[in-house]
Every structure is written in C-alpha cells, then in structure tokens.
Structure 1
C-alpha cells in the first residue's frame, strides 16, 4: 500500500495534539496499576475482554446517537483488523505477561515500543528515515529505560523462566502494537469514536472465546467478581479505554510516529510514581535518574519530529 503523506503536513491543531498526547501520557501510565488491581482475583483475558466490550459498546452507541455516520463494510473490516492487533493480540499479551512480572516492570518494558515503531516505520512501511535528533532521542530514552530496569530493580520478580515468559509476552505485545499503529493511517477507518468503538468491540469479542477456553470462567463470571476488580475495570473503561484509547487512535492518524512513541518513555515514570503512592513500591534514586534520562529522550524526539 502506498505510504500516506506525513501527519505533520496535515497540520493537526497544536492544542488538540498536545491535549491528546498528555491524555495518553497520564491516563495510560495509570492503567498498569489498575490492570493489576482488576486481575488480582479474576482471570486476565476474561476481564480484558469485558473491559473492551463495555467500552466499545459505550463509544459506538454514543457516536451513533450523536449523528456519526454508520461505518461501511470496508471500514468495519479495517477497524476490526486494527482492533484485533491492538487490543486482542497486544493487550492480550500484556494481560498474560502481567501474571509473571510486576506491573511496573511491564510498564518499563514499554520502552521497547519506540524501537519497534521507528524501525518498522523506516524499514518496512516505506516512510522517511527519522531525523538524527529523533534517533538520538530514541537512544537516550532507551538508556533511561535501562537505568529504570537494571538488575537490582528485577529482584523479587520470581523465577527466571517465569520472568522471561512474562517479558517475552509484553515485548511481543509491544511489537504488535507498533504494527497496528503504523497500519492505522494506511487503511480506511471510520470517524474517531466509531472507529475506536468497533476496534474495542471486535477486540473484546475475539478475546472472549479464547478466555472461555483457556481460563476457569463462564460467560457470566463477571457477576462473581469482587468490588475492587469491578471498580478497576470501570476506571479502565472510562479513563483507559474511552478517553485514553480514543486519544491514542487520534494520534495514530494525526501525529508523527516519533512523537507518538514518546508516551512509552513517560508511561513508566507515571506507573512507578503511582506504584509508590498506592502500592507501596520503592522509588529509588536510580529510578529518578532513569526517569530524568527518559524525559530528556522525549524532549529530543519531540524537537526532532520534523
């Protein structure tokens, strides 16, 4: 498929651009903690499926009631494909990986996303090579992630095999997310809310039968979920899925890939701060150093996005 023109050339409003970017920075940084809360006592794939089916139904219904045109058959197919990649595969892998590694480590492994995103965009999707400044920012950001996950941060994560399984699942999820992100502007998608709603509905529907086969649940197990899991799920529905994912979907179509990739450096910092205040995780001086370096990487990537 022929490459589309650069999103920068389309000139999305700066206020809208940064509002959506900050939304993804903060809200998605908080999702790791709430995914942990949601799946403490409930099977992960089942809860993720419920989350996205509820979110998608709300978004789709809202869009239709407010006059958004119905999606065409091709738009349904395209949005459904993106939903399978971004939500069923990528977030399915994340939810499974979180059963083996701490949520903070999973967030930190999100630093792999810019590597996949920029490399695939450069090599496989026929886009322009990132600027030298953006590449330098990528390297600096990865160094920051390295300091955040140096060996002393990995102590207490369980056996080596379990950690490798979890880390591999999360890494593959990031790879799938990069593919879905780069495909989004290259396929025919309906308008924002309808597109996000379809992606969530299809992603949730794909995960549900997999969960029913793999996990000890029934279709109505949601009614047996504890209050903490239900509350966390609704937080993820509203702030993680409806607001956060809609912001990401907008950015995937409007923002340059190297600017979009910066959230992978900011989310771990947000996740670790929330883990410190709400889950009793230790926020060491090493973590502060890594967070600072990662944020410098964000600045360099942002400055080099053109």
Structure 2
C-alpha cells in the first residue's frame, strides 16, 4: 500500500517544483525586464546612487529579519564576508552602475547591452576560472553578439550616440564584467542559505552604495523626503518587485534551475524593457535598433547552446 503512494507523491513533488520553477522564471522575465523603466522613473529627478542605495538597503532590512524569524540561521563571519563580497560585485558595482548608466542611454538599449552578460561569463570563465575553451558554437555566438552591439551603437542604432551615451555604454560593459565576476565567484565561496545570502548581499551592497552616494552626490541621509511622488512610487515598486521578489527568484533559480534555462532571462529582459520604454518613456524603436536586438539575442542564444553542447561532451 505504501509503495502504491510513492509514484503519486513523486509526481506531486515534481509538479510543485515545476510550478515553482515557472513562477520564478516569469518573475525574472517580467519583473527584471520592467526594472529598467522604473529605474528611469526613480532617478529622473533624484541622484542615481542615492536612490539605488535606498532601494537595496531597504529591501535588505526587510528580508533579513524575515529570514531570521522564519528559522534561517544567522550567517557566520565567513558567510557574511562571502555574501557581502558578492553583494558589492552584483549590487554596489553592477546594479549601482546600471542605475547611473540609465541616465545616459535609453532603458531598452541598457537592457540589450546588459543582455550580453552570458558573453562576459563565457569569456571570463575561459580566461580566469575553468580555463576551458568555449565550443565553436559559443565562439560564433560571441562574434554574432559583438556584431549586434556594433550595429546598436553606430549612428542610427538608437536616438543619439553622443559622448554621454558612450559613457553609459562603457559603464554597462563594466557592470557586466562585475556581475559575471560575482556570478562565477559565488560558486567558489561558502555562502549561507539562499534567502539569508540575498539579504546580506542587499544590506552590504546597498550600504556601500549609500556611503558612496553621501561622499560624491549632493545628498544627505534624509534627501528621500524631498523626492517627488513618481520617484517614491518607482522606488517602492523596485524594492518589492525588483529586489525582494525578482532578486530572490533569480537566487532560487541559480541554485535549482539548469544554467541554460536560467540564462534565457537574458533574451527576454531586453524585449520587455524595449517595449516598456517605447510604450511609457517615449523611447524610439528604429529598424536598426530592432535588427541589432535580434542579432544580440541570437548571439546570446548561440552562446547558451554552445555551453549545453560543451557540458554534454564532458
């Protein structure tokens, strides 16, 4: 009798896991795709590093007590250090840098360039971490992706490729490098449980951003009281949906989903961001920008397929 229940129980567990997997994927696809637009709204009239620091630190101050109250153990000093370092790379540098870059480039362009993250992970892993040469398919994806970027940033690719927009492009490339480093490094460090790790990353990452903001931006700790309603609304959205839900979904997927499936957010986020930027921020969608978007997404897809073949061969 007991044995007859096991297949049903296994099927139920499998079904629950599949549902959780789909919900977390939708969360990362849609919510993270929308964050570019809301970062634009949040920083239209407020300093970017200050608002990014407020967003992440507030999310961490909510998530950490919740995690402790729901039974997750306190991280050790080593785990604080490890998660904090990842938080600086992913959130202080990459997220904070992206918040700055959106001051100089349209949100859809920022999302497209951020979508090249798998390229950075592949090259960095090849040169510094695994020392494993990518497959020919992945290298083809690298070339295709670079062609797409070149088409995007050349004149006519988006509204204007000015000196300021080039600054935004360079910042995003550096953000990709920092995020790729943090992603690869996290697999070699002793981290606490998923939710505690996310909370510590937000606390440290947001805290560092706030300190830097107080040093370089014309703000005080209480400048948030002067923020317009639109900025406050966008900040609340980003805290709840971008950080607490979106980042936690990404962290869950990073630990439970196949890497090839997780990497698909890099194809979807730019499409969501470009459509939202066009619909709500008046950003232009030129034929050249749409073509470059398709080429970049194709490049990222080839890289992911190349990784899959490499793992199958191993």
TM-score normalised to the size of structure 1?
Answer: 0.85
Q: Provide, for residues 174-214 of structure 1, a one-character-per-residue CA deviation record: whole Å limited to 9, x for no partner.
A: 11010001111211111111110110011111111111111
Indicate the residue corresponding to 1:265 in structure 2. 267
Aligned residue in 2 for 1:4:
none
What is the CA distance between 1:142 and its match in structure 2? 4.8
1:278 to 260, 277, 280: 280
Question: 1 CA distance for matches of 2:140 and 2:21?
Answer: 23
Q: Cα distance, 1:96 vs. partner?
A: 1.9
Q: Is the 8 Å Cα contact of residues 158 and 285 (structure 2) preserved in structure 1?
A: no
Q: Which structure 1 segments of 5+ residues have no match?
A: 1-12
Per-residue deviation at 1:152?
Answer: 0.6
2:232 counterpart residue number? 230
CA contact 2:104–2:168 (8 Å) conserved in 1: yes
Q: Please state how far the C-alpha of 1:103 moved relative to its aligned partner.
A: 2.2
- In structure 2, what is the Cα distance between the partners aligned to 1:51 and 1:187? 26
Corresponding residue number in structure 1 for 2:8: none
- Shift in Å at residue 39 of structure 1? 0.3
**Partner SS for 1:213:** helix
**How many residues are aligned here?**
293
Identify the residue that residue 90 of structure 1 maps to in structure 2.
94
TM-score relative to the length of structure 2: 0.83
- Cα–Cα, structure 1 residues 40 and 78, in superposed 2: closer, same or farther, change >3 Å? same
* C-alpha distance in structure 1 between counterparts of 2:147 and 2:268, whole Å: 14
Q: Distance in 2 between matches of 1:268 and 1:149?
A: 15
- Higher mean alpha-carbon deviation, 224-233 vs 103-112, is at 103-112
RMSD (Å) for aligned C-alpha atoms: 2.6
**2:43 matched to which residue of 1?**
39
Q: CA deviation at 1:253?
A: 3.8
Partner of 1:79: 83
Which residue number in structure 1 is paired with residue 157 of structure 2? 153
